Amino acid sequence: MQKRNELPFFVQLWTAILVIPFFGLLREGLISHGSDRSVWIALQDPIIHSIARFTLFQAFLSLLVAGAVGVPLGIWISSAFRTRFRRGFEILLALPMGIPGLVTASAAVAWMGRQGWLTRMGLWPEEWVYSLYTVIAVHGFWNASWIALKVAQKQSSIPLERIEAARVLGANRYQRFLWLDLPELGTELFWASLQVFQLCATSFVIVLLLGGGPPVETLETAIYSKVRLAELDFPGAVACVFLQLGVLAIPGIAGLFYQWRAMLRKSSSEAQWVASSRGISVRTARLGLQFVSAVFLGLLPWFLAFDRQALVKAMAWVMSKEAADSLALSLQLAVGSLLLSGSLTAFLLRAARRLPGRSQPWVIFIALFPSWVSPFILGLGFWLVAERWMDPFADHWQWVILIQAILGVPFLFRALWPVVGSPQLRLMDSAQALGASKFRAFWAVEWPRWKGVVATAGGVYFFGALGDLAAVSFFSGGAFETGVPLPVLVSRMISHYQFDEAQGVLLVLVALGLSSLGVLSGVLTFVGWVVPQGADYLKRRGWRR
Amino acid sequence: MTNRQEVGTAGRDSQGGLEVRDLRIHREGFEIRVNLHVRPGQRVALLGRSGCGKTTLLRAIAGLEPVHSGQVCLVGDDVTHLPTERRNLGVVFQDLALFPSLTVEQNLDFGLRVRGVSRKERELRLAPWVERFGLKGREKAALGYLSGGERQRVALIRTWVTKPRVLLLDEPFSALDAVLRADFQQLLMDLLAKDPVPVLWVTHDVSDLDRFATDQVAVRESSDGAIREFLGP
């Protein structure tokens, strides 16, 4: 009985956590404090309207750029997804989602800043530097790999027999794409575009650092400036939050419904070589080219942007006391966020898997709900509700962890649900029929499937949390007792034009983030080995039945 | 049967059939050698244990598998180096390979559509088959609403309306129960009686042979298993 009650309780708890900040925002909107500037008046402010229009405009243009690059690349790269290198390609293309905005912005300065490589070579007009163009180019390029990943995953999941049947019936490559691939890609493309749109609309660091200030100002940067930079303007900030929610709500809700429907649909993705009459050398060359494209889109620009001088300064900085404090604090925040977000996701996954069919979509829906809110919306909401216990100017890092964890749930859930939500029941039965306990069957059948996905999703999330500027800067009062988190330190360096130093620190951050992938993978492999061994040992000793 | 010419024999040469000459297919660890001639009206069963290369042979004839040497001729034309989509042959796959994103009707007229046949013409050509195969009223349905037998019929009509020069069937009866299997075989034989195209089919079930096959080819393996030969009728 206890087991049955446990899951609905957690689902209710999660819903309550999500409701709290919205309650705070709504209360602020409804209650007038007697001042001249209420939320209602702020909502009629033409300046805020123009910021909202600009947010929509830049997000839409960014999406167009990302789609124009990502869709053709995804289609082209999809054949590589039918090979044994699939996992590598997936990691490469998923990485930019985990690369913190700060790293991306810094790399973009090295490419498209006043002294950037492209600018010096005359390939990026100087009048475009620190403008809407730079913001759109970076948003587009940064998100193209995600669209390419989704397109390639879907395209490669179409069974080869279906493609062959179309060929036998006389369909050429173009007809096959138009009539068979496109209808299947449609759903995937729809929600990948939606995600990119949401990310671009709520983008903070890139707009802040690369936009060059107003008029390149989005609702997200406006919220920040109204509560952190200028004189406190709660009504203005809350009005921006409402408009931000309006911008994201309609496509967001439509997308979430679309998404869980797509998730429930099973798709086969058996990796196999594409039958081709071409020789092995042609296939290898093609695979090599695809790999280079994936590396370029997924990772290379961020590394190419760093020069040797930055590396030297990074090494010098790493030895300092300031570095040790900053590193320790950032690692604490990232590990804390990963643990909390991982636990929340694990409970939600468990609930979604165990609840009957009708309730399952609801759990999926609320698990993915935070994907259309931003750190500032949550931060401001919590602040308005819990101002007695939290002061954003007093370095309450527990709130940073809570907000990062809540925002991490949709990412982790999305990554893990396709694997966790489709258990290999037949294989589990088969293992149990062969004498394995349910526990042992899990480690033999399910864990090998989960391991890679858990390591990748966890690593990418950890990387993102390590370099997230929005949540830490919202709660940073400049006096973190144990140091300054790395992203705040980097943003300070950039604002003081210490670009080499900033890049050096970012190099450390990138190295930490990427190594977390390997470390997590190793830890999970070890867990997969040691747990069944331990269980067997206990069984042999008669301590476990 | 007024549409017999339109949906059946028109455009097909009754001479020649399928001829496979000295075909060699290299697979990891073994080589498949083939010499066979299937004449119009013949229904040749390919027999052999699992993994011996029967399906590979069908796929090679369809152009879906690279061949090392030899010739595949359809109605006298050498199609060895022709891409699959231009060979004009019919394949019914083991798992049917229907297109789930398309409706029943769109699945049925797919082959005609890719050949540029107008919508009106497509409807005209398909109507008698839809009626005859008991799919009337299900044209707009999604594939998920069809039973196993109906799906099998969709796969067959889809192939048949393109007037293939040869019919390749990869274990077409394996997923059907005894009643559906007998129905489907009868349906196929009715079609072939009026329009005798050469048929090459893969089977594991010897009970199908008496009822459906006119000839059979069994694989012969060398003692070390490195060479597997399919030699003619």
Closest CA to B55 of B94, B97, B95, B99: B94
Q: Do B97 and A169 touch (CB under 8 A)?
A: no
Using a CB–CB cutoff of 8 Å, tell me whether B166 touches chain A: no
Q: Is A234 helix (H, G, I), strand (E, B) or coil?
A: helix
**In three state form, how does the secondary structure of A275-342 look?**
CCCCCHHHHHHHHHHHHHHHHHHHCHHHHHCCCHHHHHHHHHHHCCHHHHHHHHHHHHHHHHHHHHHH
The pLDDT profile of chain A, 545 residues, written as one tens digit per residue, is: 444 444 567 788 888 888 888 888 887 777 755 556 677 777 778 888 888 888 888 889 999 999 999 888 888 888 888 877 887 888 888 878 777 788 888 888 878 877 777 888 888 888 888 888 888 988 888 889 889 988 888 888 888 888 888 888 888 888 888 888 888 887 778 878 888 888 888 888 888 888 767 777 888 888 888 777 766 777 788 888 888 888 777 666 666 666 555 555 433 333 333 334 445 666 677 777 777 777 666 666 666 666 666 677 777 777 777 777 888 888 888 899 999 999 999 988 888 887 766 677 778 888 888 877 888 888 888 888 877 777 766 667 788 888 889 988 988 998 888 888 888 776 777 666 666 667 777 877 788 888 888 888 888 888 888 877 777 777 776 555 556 788 888 777 777 777 777 777 777 777 887 788 788 878 887 877 777 777 767 766 766 55
Residues 130-159 of B with CB under 8 A from A: 158-159
Using a CB–CB cutoff of 8 Å, tell me whether B113 touches chain A: yes
Among chain B residues, the shortest Cα distance to A164 is held by: B64
Rounded Cα distance between B74 and B62, Å, is 11
Q: Do A161 and B95 touch (CB under 8 A)?
A: yes
B69 vs chain A: nearest CA distance in angstroms? Answer: 12
Among chain B residues, the shortest Cα distance to A174 is held by: B114
A372-382 pLDDT, tens digit per residue, is 788 888 888 88
Using a CB–CB cutoff of 8 Å, tell me whether B85 touches chain A: yes
**In three state form, how does the secondary structure of chain B look?**
CCCHHHHCCCCCCCCCCEEEEEEEEEECCEEEEEEEEECCCCEEEEECCCCCCHHHHHHHHHCCCCCCEEEEEECCEECCCCCHHHCCCEEECCCCCCCCCCEHHHHHCHHHHHCCCCHHHHHHHHHHHHHHCCCCCCCCCEHHHCCHHHHHHHHHHHHHCCCCCCEEEECCCCCCCHHHHHHHHHHHHHHHHHCCCCEEEECCCCHHHHHHCCEEEEEEECCCCCEEEEECC
Q: Which residues of B touch A159 (CB under 8 A)?
A: 97
Residues B183, B188, B193, B197: what is their CA dihedral angle, to the nearest 10 degrees? -170
**How sure is the predictor about B14, in pLDDT bands with cuts at 50, 70 and 90?**
very low
B182 vs chain A: nearest CA distance in angstroms? Answer: 25
Residue-averaged pLDDT of chain A: 77
Exposed e or buried b for every residue in A425-448, given b needs 16+ CB within 10 A? Answer: eeebeebeeeebeeebbbbbbbbe
Q: Do B84 and A180 touch (CB under 8 A)?
A: no
For testing contact with chain B, the best of A168, A174, A272, A281 (most B CBs within 10 A): A168
Q: Which residues of B touch A273 (CB under 8 A)?
A: none
Q: Which residues of A touch B87 (CB under 8 A)?
A: 168
Among chain B residues, the shortest Cα distance to A165 is held by: B97
For testing contact with chain A, the best of B79, B85, B96 (most A CBs within 10 A): B85
Using a CB–CB cutoff of 8 Å, tell me whether B82 touches chain A: no
Q: Which residues of B touch A268 (CB under 8 A)?
A: none
Residues 177-196 of B with CB under 8 A from A: none
Q: Which residues of B touch A184 (CB under 8 A)?
A: 101
**How sure is the predictor about B200, in pLDDT bands with cuts at 50, 70 and 90?**
very high
Using a CB–CB cutoff of 8 Å, tell me whether B40 touches chain A: no
Q: Which of B85, B93, B101 sits opposite A183 (nearest CB)?
A: B101
For testing contact with chain A, the best of B99, B160, B167 (most A CBs within 10 A): B99
Q: Which residues of A touch B (CB under 8 A)?
A: 159, 161-162, 164-172, 175, 179-180, 183-184, 275-277
Q: Do B99 and A275 touch (CB under 8 A)?
A: no
